[in-house]
Amino acid sequence: MINIKNLDKALKKVEKPARYIGLEENSHNKDINHAKVKFAFAFPDVYEVGMSHLGLHILYNLINDQQDFVCERTFAPWFDMEYQMRDKNIELYTLESKEEVRNFDIVGFTLQYELSYTNLLNMLDLAKIPILSKDRDETFPIVIAGGPCAFNPEPLADFIDLFLIGEGEEATLELLELYKKHKEGDFNKKEFLYDAATKIEGIYVPSFYEIFYNKDNTISKRVVLESKVPEIIKKRRVRDLDKMYCPERMLVPYIETVHDRISLELFRGCTHGCRFCEAGFIYRPIREKSVDTLLCQAEKLVDSTGYDTISLSSLSSCDYTQLDLLIHSLLDKFEDKKVGVSLPSLRLDSISIDILKEIERVRKTSLTFAPEAGSQRLRDVINKGVNESDLEMAVSYAFKEGYSKIKLYFMMGLPTETEDDLIGIRDLSYKVKDMFFNRPKEEKVGNFQLTTSVSCFVPKPFTPFQWHGQDSIEKFYDKIDLLKKTFKDPKIKFNYHDPRVSYMEAIISRGDRRISNLLLKAWEYGCKFDGWSSAFNFDIWQKAINDSGIDPHFYANRTRDFDEILPWDFINAGPTKKTLIREYNKALDGNITPDCREVCNGCGIDNCEMRGVFN
Amino acid sequence: MKIRAKYTKLGYLKYLSHLDLVRLFNRSFIRADIPVRYSEGFNPHPKLSLGNPLPLGIESVCEYFDVELTENIELNEFNNRLNEVLPKWIKIIESKEIDELTPSISSTMCITEYEISADLTNPEEEIDYSCEINRLLDFSNIDIEKKKKKGKNKVTIKVNIRPFILKLSINGVYDGSIKFKSIVLTGEKGNVKPSELLEVINKNTKIKLDLDSMNARKIASYTNEFEE
Ligand code: SF4
């Protein structure tokens, strides 16, 4: 255990001390000394961000419900706390037992976004755990990672001992069981990793593979170094969500977090097939929970947390087949407790609007729409199945119901984009504004405010755009200038993302093993919390790029050939490469692919659960 | 029905802010099935009010909140049901029924008794601690600098806190650390924080304290008449 007196002194000096104390409702108080396997769940961002992540609540309860295992949490300390910790010799600790992370058996990082990677390195350093996997012997914890970004594990290959690809519920327990067995004997790190890699599906151990490169920097081949280690890693997916473990409790933070509410996961997967969206491809197919299961889970969660809002959180919650029934049942059930229901994402269609009406029985929520592209042509290219009349209908309903603040989200730098498409962003925004002011006087309630936000497109692995070269930073700035000039209305606020941030994201997300060196340099030079605009420092990143000798354009701006070996090709995420190529070609031709809930598009998932359910 | 409840705030939960507490109580009312009255309007929230915020990092065994209910409830049951769902560091000690005429918590409880301890940085020095404190209390002026918001800017102003210190005494010295007891004003008429007391002791007496090691606990609240 860390020195508690020092901790108390540190806490008195930091801005939000309650981030670092734990003791929340539904946190466990198991004795870690009696646990056979001690697992530290590490989230490489601040407490408020990490605690809003549903996966944390699931794994935390899942592991702690097992008698032999214990799971405790640790987060990235904010700048002020890191300073105090280094000053007072406080190692990175877990919130529950205030135990040094270094004394745990396994440290598991969740990878939600690439720009948290420097935090991961910093946390290892704060834990006094050697950063490079090869420098850690049996006296240190096994460092593992999972989550959406683990689908391209290569940029972190030098740091992480073992990756878990796909949904973690089942594989995590299998891994902890295996660890327990190994710990009972003479624990040998390599033997444990070998057993994990060969016995548990979805486990990737980077040190069992070697990568060779061509003169032009592309990959020439991957070689498996140990016998029986799989060449292709197949992602894990839970097949029956009704039978899957679902926590009856959720940790309830004392401080305000990004997401202060119950997260009710209705289903996994999404099959709209938006061509820019990684989650849509890697979490296929759709697997729903039944209404009965959900009502039962909601009741337990309300009782155990006291939250007044249930958020229906899935990739596209409006797609839930029995949404109407579910929402009615939830609202009726909790009406007297004043518990409301919220939908984090709305689609621009009539179903969403009807549902919105229902929810309004209890509480108003803010309205955000994401047309993503400014013209119908480009929306077809990205397979975003909405058209202008959908948006018009949704917006006019919103105005009628008294909403006067609307947010619109777009992307720039999408494949095939022209100036006309960009102007389309402006036209659509002005149209929304005109719709508000063209209504009869008595209906114009509220202070109209439209925010149009434009982000820079980052091509992601496992999407049909994984071969596409990202726009250069200069090109993005040109486009921003063009848009800025066209937005002249004080009622419309034009926001844009920092292209330099998106550039770093592009380099890392499609990176290979050589990116490890870049990350290490960036961290050594002081990069952390890069996802926070207040902390992101492009100058340091640029120095790290120069000193690590990588060619950033090779990773970010280069359009790849279809026959190139991509760094993540050895992972089977579900849809086949053939499917992705087909989709990319269709995109370039402006052809759409319908949602496969109607007809299977043959994306290549074996034993797809949907084929029996929807088609 | 309106209830005034007295509760504790101990251990690490001394780091919860005023807003954190409000949210904790609101969640606890839902979990304990307390029939709380909600405000009207678009965003209904429970009719709950807390006293003046306790400085972050200070424990207390006498915090108060007022809450309005839609139905009458036994006070005992109110306490028990809430205590069942509250964390063990924040517990209702007692509660009483109040009415519309009862003055608010912040306007009544404006005298506070603290127990404060801190490590000495000069424990080996021979000092008559009580004598030093009495010497300090003999001052008619003890100025401290307080930061105040003035429009957008923060300005530092000098405040004489001597009139706000009603009592300050030594409660024991052992193991290199010293314990004080103090009664101070904590309201609109004057406000002294435990950290400020230690600061003036450090500055004006031979007693030298490690300010970072301070531990403070609020042990009583008094009304203007000096009665609990
Ligand atoms: S296999 Fe067919 S039904 Fe299943 S996700 Fe792929 S396209 Fe959809």
Residue A609 lies in a domain: no
A69 with A186, same domain: the answer is yes
The answer to whether B212 contacts chain A (CB < 8 Å) is yes
Distance CA A502, CA A455 (A): 8
Inter-chain CB proximity A306 and B85 less than 8 Å:
yes
Residue A196 lies in a domain: yes
Reported ipTM: 0.90
Both tokens assigned to A8: 């108390």
Residue A431 lies in a domain: yes
* Nearest CB partner across the interface for B27, out of A11, A255, A306: A306
Task: Sort out which chain B residues have CB atoms less than 8 A from A5's CB and list them.
Answer: 213
Quote the pLDDT of residue B227.
Answer: 45
User: Is A193's C-beta closer than 6 angstroms to any atom of ligand 1?
Assistant: no
Interval A269-291 mean pLDDT: 93
A217 with A296, same domain: the answer is no
A284 with A229, same domain: the answer is no
Residue A559 lies in a domain: no
What pLDDT digit, counting tens, does each position of A121-130 carry? 999 999 999 9
- Alpha carbon of residue B156 to chain centroid: 24
Quote the pLDDT of residue B35.
Answer: 92
A14 with A125, same domain: the answer is yes
Interval A414-432 mean pLDDT: 95
Q: What are the C-alpha distances in Å from B10 to residues A195, B52, B217?
A: 47, 17, 9
A100 with A201, same domain: the answer is yes
Residue A522 lies in a domain: no
Top-confidence range, A259-268, A469-478, A591-600? A469-478
Single-letter code of the amino acid located at A5:
K
The number of folded domains in chain A is 2
Find residue A42's DSSP bridge partners. A74, A109
Q: Is A441 helix (H, G, I), strand (E, B) or coil?
A: helix
Structural domain of A452: 262-497+575-588
pLDDT above 90 covers a percentage of chain A that reads: 78
Domains and CATH numbers, chain B: 2-108 (3.30.70.580), 111-222 (3.30.70)
- Give which of B40, B51, B43, B54 is closest to B9, Cα–Cα: B54
* Nearest CB partner across the interface for A18, out of B20, B31, B214: B20
Distance CA A541, CA A118 (A): 11
Residue A514 lies in a domain: no
What pLDDT digit, counting tens, does each position of A139-184 carry? 999 999 999 999 999 999 999 999 999 999 999 999 999 999 999 9
Burial of A373 (0-12, 13-18, 19+ CB in 10 A): buried
Q: What is the CATH number of the domain that holds A277?
A: 3.20.20.70
User: Is A271's C-beta closer than 6 angstroms to any atom of ligand 1?
Assistant: yes
What pLDDT digit, counting tens, does each position of A493-519 carry? 999 999 999 999 999 999 999 999 999
Quote the pLDDT of residue A228.
Answer: 96
Distance CA A50, CA A370 (A): 25
Distance CA A44, CA A258 (A): 15
Interval A396-410 mean pLDDT: 83
Question: Within 13 Å, how many C-alpha atoms sit on residue A474's CB side?
Answer: 1
Interval A270-286 mean pLDDT: 94
A227 with A275, same domain: the answer is no
Confidence of residue A359 (pLDDT cuts 50, 70, 90): low
Nearest chain B Cα distance for residue A48, angstroms: 13
Nearest chain A Cα distance for residue B185, angstroms: 23
A324 with A436, same domain: the answer is yes
Please give the residue of chain A at the shortest CA–CA distance from B211: A9
Q: What is the CATH number of the domain that holds A138?
A: 3.40.50.280
Residues A97 and A72: beta-carbon distance below 8 Å = yes
DSSP A382: T
Task: Sort out which chain A residues have CB atoms less than 8 A from B85's CB and list them.
Answer: 25, 306
A227 with A299, same domain: the answer is no
Ranges of residues in chain B whose predicted pLDDT is under 70: 42, 224-228
A52 with A121, same domain: the answer is yes
Please give the residue of chain A at the shortest CA–CA distance from B22: A254
Quote the pLDDT of residue A345.
Answer: 65
Ligand 1 mean position to A235 CA, how many Å? 16
Residue A253 lies in a domain: no
Instruction: With a cut of 90, say whether residue A468 has pLDDT above it.
Output: yes
Please give the residue of chain A at the shortest CA–CA distance from B89: A23
The answer to whether A305 contacts chain B (CB < 8 Å) is yes
A388 with A310, same domain: the answer is yes
A310 with A409, same domain: the answer is yes
User: Is A415's C-beta closer than 6 angstroms to any atom of ligand 1?
Assistant: no
Which atom of ligand 1 is found nearest the CA of A605?
Answer: 1
Quote the pLDDT of residue A615.
Answer: 59
Ligand 1 probe mutation, A286, A596, A607, A615, most atoms within 8 A of CB: A596
Residues B166 and B110: beta-carbon distance below 8 Å = no
Which atom of ligand 1 is found nearest the CA of A609?
Answer: 4
Task: Sort out which chain B residues have CB atoms less than 8 A from A337's CB and list them.
Answer: 30
Both tokens assigned to A83: 């300073």
Residue nearest to atom 8 of ligand 1 (CA): A596
Mean pLDDT of chain A: 92
Burial of A345 (0-12, 13-18, 19+ CB in 10 A): middle
The answer to whether A12 contacts chain B (CB < 8 Å) is yes
Q: What are the C-alpha distances in Å from A498 to residues A494, A501, A531, A536, A537?
A: 13, 5, 11, 10, 11
- pTM: predicted TM-score of the whole model, two decimal places: 0.93
- Alpha carbon of residue A500 to chain centroid: 20
Distance CA B51, CA B14 (A): 15
A209 with A266, same domain: the answer is no
Quote the pLDDT of residue A366.
Answer: 60
Q: Is A555 helix (H, G, I), strand (E, B) or coil?
A: helix
Burial of A401 (0-12, 13-18, 19+ CB in 10 A): middle
Q: How many angstroms separate the most distant Cα atoms in chain B? A: 65
Interval A208-226 mean pLDDT: 97
* Nearest CB partner across the interface for A254, out of B24, B26, B30: B24
Residue A128 lies in a domain: yes
Residues A111 and A163: beta-carbon distance below 8 Å = no
What pLDDT digit, counting tens, does each position of A576-612 carry? 999 999 999 999 999 999 999 888 999 999 889 887 6
User: Is A613's C-beta closer than 6 angstroms to any atom of ligand 1?
Assistant: no
Cβ–Cβ contacts within 10 Å for residue A197, how many? 22
